[in-house]
Amino acid sequence: MSPTGTPLLAFEDVSVTYRTSGGEVPAVRDVDLTVASGEVVGVAGESGCGKSTLASTILRLQPPTAKVTGRVIFEGEDVQTMKWGALRALRWAGASMVFQGALHSLNPVQRVGAQIAEPIELHQPSLTEARVRSMVGDLLEQVGLPAARARAYPHQLSGGQRQRVMIAMALACGPRLIVADEPTTALDVMVQAQVLGVLEGLVRELDVGLLMISHDLSVLAELCDRIAVMYAGRVIEHGPADKVFSDPLHPYAAALSASFPRIGDPAARYAPAGLAGDPPDPAELPAGCSFHPRCPKRFDQCDTVEPELRWPAETRSREAACLLVGPS
Ligand SMILES: Nc1ncnc2c1ncn2[C@@H]1O[C@H](COP(=O)(O)OP(=O)(O)OP(=O)(O)O)[C@@H](O)[C@H]1O
């Protein structure tokens, strides 16, 4: 929190619906979540649960077919309604994003130094070329690369080095928030740990907020202070990272936490333990709890009642949307 108690980022009852030829797709539903300065918050869930859609609203990057309701508040201002000038200032300098797969995000025919320099030049056009070059060198060193790598093209770097370049780029304009969407998914486990270590170290050192999105709860458990687990567009569990991972309240969070520690078995890493089937198509959500068709603990009421995200009395800092958790 800031000294005034305002979080850096706050999703307030945020829902996102895509208009498609097949009808409305409710990709995100009623999400409340905050990130404070210096805090690392994780968003977990299987593919299609709405993680990236939620993240896209922070910089108003959602496609025009998406309708956002609720409020996405960054440093006290609603990103979804702010004027274009304020939005331009927000992107890179207020909040920046690190996406999955640096190979696709970086321009293959431009040296990486020039790519890191671009947002700096955009936001501080008065800086001299030499000053920008020196800032780029410093940024590369901050992410553990020699400054001379600025002259490399993306294909001359390893996957881990490219992802470090993406982190350097995200830091270039001194943002207060970094949003990292599956930043290390394409990397092998060792390199993944190194890159995540760099990211976390910098966030803590610079007192930047980090919203980290991943399907891998074990990765989030290592880095994050808090984790929100999403299913079918909703947050279904939220609490301190170690608790959500080691002692999950919701049966879906339990399945996610049980699936990922199996290093070296890539197929198993992505399948939540003991769960049959796939998450529902958001356009055809089941009645009641969206998770009930896959839930090992389902009982009759689950087919008709959609549980609210609530604070169980015995675990004040945690909440879960399950009829088995807390008073019904
Ligand atoms: N532009 C779009 N138009 C229509 N539906 C979309 C669009 N983008 C995403 N969706 C749908 O919204 C839902 C949420 O997708 P989203 O990409 O946010 O999930 P995710 O959890 O980030 O998954 P992944 O990890 O695979 O990116 C999915 O059902 C997806 O098919």
Report the CATH number at residue 237. 3.40.50.300
Protein residue with its CA nearest to atom 10 in ligand 1: 27
Assess if residue 304 is contained within a domain.
yes
Q: Is 47 in the pocket of ligand 1 (CB under 6 A)?
A: yes
State which H helix or E strand residue 67 sits in: strand 66-74
Assess if residue 230 is contained within a domain.
yes
Distance 56 CA to ligand 1 centre (A): 11
Strands 66-74 and 234-240: unpaired
Distance 75 CA to ligand 1 centre (A): 27
Q: Is 328 in the pocket of ligand 1 (CB under 6 A)?
A: no
262, HSE (Cβ side, Cα atoms, 13 Å): 12
Protein residue with its CA nearest to atom 31 in ligand 1: 48
Can you tell me which atom of ligand 1 is nearest the CA of 54?
18
Strands 66-74 and 209-214: unpaired
What pLDDT does residue 316 have?
66
Q: Is 63 in the pocket of ligand 1 (CB under 6 A)?
A: yes
Can you tell me which atom of ligand 1 is nearest the CA of 45?
21
Alpha helices in 33-175 (DSSP H): 51-56, 84-90, 102-105, 112-123, 129-142, 159-171
What pLDDT does residue 271 have?
63
Q: What is the ipTM of this complex?
A: 0.95
Domain count, the chain: 1
Assess if residue 104 is contained within a domain.
no
Q: What is the distance, to the nearest Å, from the Cα of residue 261 to the centroid of all Cα atoms in its chain? A: 20
Q: Is 27 in the pocket of ligand 1 (CB under 6 A)?
A: yes
Strand partners, 9: 35, 74
Assess if residue 328 is contained within a domain.
no
Q: Is 48 in the pocket of ligand 1 (CB under 6 A)?
A: yes
What 8-state DSSP symbol labels residue 233? T
Interatomic CA distance for residues 19 and 24, integer angstroms: 5
Assess if residue 210 is contained within a domain.
yes
Cα–Cα distances (Å) from 279 to 82, 147, 272, in that order, read 34, 45, 11
Assess if residue 327 is contained within a domain.
no
Which pTM value belongs to this model? 0.91
Alpha-carbon torsion, ordered 244, 245, 249, 252, to 10 deg: 110
Of 260, 261, 221, which Cα lies nearest the Cα of 237? 221
What does pLDDT average to in each consecutive run of 10 residues of the chain (328 residues)? Answer: 71 96 94 95 93 95 96 96 94 89 81 96 93 96 94 93 92 94 80 86 91 91 95 96 93 86 49 77 93 94 93 75 79
Can you tell me which atom of ligand 1 is nearest the CA of 281?
29
Assess if residue 99 is contained within a domain.
no
Q: Is 64 in the pocket of ligand 1 (CB under 6 A)?
A: no
Q: Is 280 in the pocket of ligand 1 (CB under 6 A)?
A: no
Distance 48 CA to ligand 1 centre (A): 5
Interatomic CA distance for residues 151 and 147, integer angstroms: 9
**Contact call for residues 54 and 28 (beta carbons, < 8 A):** yes
Phi, psi at residue 186, to the nearest 5°?
-80, 0
Instruction: Supply the DSSP string of 73-106, one letter for each residue.
Output: EETTEETTTS-HHHHHHHBTTTEEEE-S-HHHHS
Assess if residue 120 is contained within a domain.
no
What pLDDT does residue 208 have?
94
Strands 95-98 and 177-181: parallel
Distance 150 CA to ligand 1 centre (A): 34
Interatomic CA distance for residues 114 and 169, integer angstroms: 10
Q: Which domain holds residue 260?
A: 9-94+173-320
Protein residue with its CA nearest to atom 2 in ligand 1: 18
Q: Is 279 in the pocket of ligand 1 (CB under 6 A)?
A: no
Can you tell me which atom of ligand 1 is nearest the CA of 52?
22
Protein residue with its CA nearest to atom 5 in ligand 1: 18
